Structure formats: structure tokens, C-alpha cells
């Protein structure tokens, strides 16, 4: 069984480019974005880690730590960071986990059990399922999972947008519609009566009997 929304994110201890971490302790009382890539020194992954580095301040403003992982050793991560900076103009200052024994990849169902127990000799194709994203909340529960194919680089602006929605809807009884962005109208959940909605949000628009929209509440 793979990880599902609201499951407790598996804890682990791992070596990273910033030393040994104990994952739950590292997360602390904020959010975390754990994202994996198939292999260092490959083209799509290089652009992805640079893009995430460029958004690091945006995630920090949302009290969200970011951490990368692949089955390459830490020493390889350190060398690769120079290429990422050269190609994208962004320095990777967030930690990268060296999961050379594949333990974390398997723990998070990013590689099958039969993948073995060593990254030695593995090609990017061998690691094809390792292009995933997990958003984890302060309660250490999984809030979002996404997995992409080998040839499709991720849109990290979308991860940021999803985080905004997750954080907003954790505080208020609202949901966010398709293509929602920060500051746009939100949907009042069915658990809120019309009377309570007026008290909480003021005026609202009834689009359908079951679809009510209102202005985004303040955090």
C-alpha cells in the first residue's frame, strides 16, 4: 500500500548535504516539501532543483522547509550543485538526502521492494518512479502527493499554489476552486450553514445550491 493523504509521513534518519537529519525533528512545527529526482547529473533534474532553489524564499515565507532526495550519495550531490548553479543561476542551499541504500525511496513507495538495496550501477530508467513530491504538515501527516514521469519536469509554482491552499483551508472551513490563486475567491464548505457563513465570511454568492463562493478570508 502506498502513502495516502492524511497518513503519518514515515520518519527516518538520513545523511544529507547539511549533515545527518532525523526527518520529523527536522520538520519541526512547520510544513515540509520532500521532493525526489531519479539521478544526479541529468538534464531534467538539473532544471528542477534549480527551479526549487529559485523559489526557496517563497517556501520559507510560508514556514515550509524544502528538502531534495535521490539515490545518489551525498558526495555526488555536492559536486552536482555547481552544475545546477551554472545552468539555472540558482544556488541549492537546501539539504539533499543521499539515499544510496534506497531506504527512504522505498519507505515513501517511490521505488518497489525488488529495487535492491544499493544505488550502485543504477540508471535513471531504473529510478523512473522517483520523481515525486510530498507536502507534509506540522502534524507530520501527508497533505499532498504528486508523481511525475521521467520526461516531465515539475511545475514548482503549482506546488507553491497547492501549499497556499493547504494552509488556508487548514485554518478556515473553505475549499479552493480549480486554478485558484492566492487572494482569489474561495468555496464555502458544505459543513458551514448559510447563517454561519454570513457570520464568518460576510456576504457570499450562491452559484448553485451546493456551490457558494466568498472572498478569501484573512489568515
The catalytic residue positions are 45
Bridge partners of 211, per DSSP, are 208
- DSSP 8-class letter at 8: B
Closest CA to 36 of 131, 108, 105: 131
Bridge partners of 14, per DSSP, are 21
The whole-angstrom separation of Cα 150 and Cα 130 is: 8
Q: How far is CA 27 from CA 64, 91, 160, in A?
A: 8, 22, 17
Measured from the Cβ of residue 1, the count of other Cβ atoms closer than 10 Å reads 5
User: Which three cell numbers, joined as nine digits, stand for 218?
Assistant: 484573512
Non-local CB neighbours of 87 within 8 Å, separated by 6+ positions:
46, 47, 50
The whole-angstrom separation of Cα 62 and Cα 49 is: 19
C-alpha dihedral over 151, 142, 12, 53, to 10 degrees? 50
Measured from the Cβ of residue 205, the count of other Cβ atoms closer than 10 Å reads 11
Amino acid at each position: 500500500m502506498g502513502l495516502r493523504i492524511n497518513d503519518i509521513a514515515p520518519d527516518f534518519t538520513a545523511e544529507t548535504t547539511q549533515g545527518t537529519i532525523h526527518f520529523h525533528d527536522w520538520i519541526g512545527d512547520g510544513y515540509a516539501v520532500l521532493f525526489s529526482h531519479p539521478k544526479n547529473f541529468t538534464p531534467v533534474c538539473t532544471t528542477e532543483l534549480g527551479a526549487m532553489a529559485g523559489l526557496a524564499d517563497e517556501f520559507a515565507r510560508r514556514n515550509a522547509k524544502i528538502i531534495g532526495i535521490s539515490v545518489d550519495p551525498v558526495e555526488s550531490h555536492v559536486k552536482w550543485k555547481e552544475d545546477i548553479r551554472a545552468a539555472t543561476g540558482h544556488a541549492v542551499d537546501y539539504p539533499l538526502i543521499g539515499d544510496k541504500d534506497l531506504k527512504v525511496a522505498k519507505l515513501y513507495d517511490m521505488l518497489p521492494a525488488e529495487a535492491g538495496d544499493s544505488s550502485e550501477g543504477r540508471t535513471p530508467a531504473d529510478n523512473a518512479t522517483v520523481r515525486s513530491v510530498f507536502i507534509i504538515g506540522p502534524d507530520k501527516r501527508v497533505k499532498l502527493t504528486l508523481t511525475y514521469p521521467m520526461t516531465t519536469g515539475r511545475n514548482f509554482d503549482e506546488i507553491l499554489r497547492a501549499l497556499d491552499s493547504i494552509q488556508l483551508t487548514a485554518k478556515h472551513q473553505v475549499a479552493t476552486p480549480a486554478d485558484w490563486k492566492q487572494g482569489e475567491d474561495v468555496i464555502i464548505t458544505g459543513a458551514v450553514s448559510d447563517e454561519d457563513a454570513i457570520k464568518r465570511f460576510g456576504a457570499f454568492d450562491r452559484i448553485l445550491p451546493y456551490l457558494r463562493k466568498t472572498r478569501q478570508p484573512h489568515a
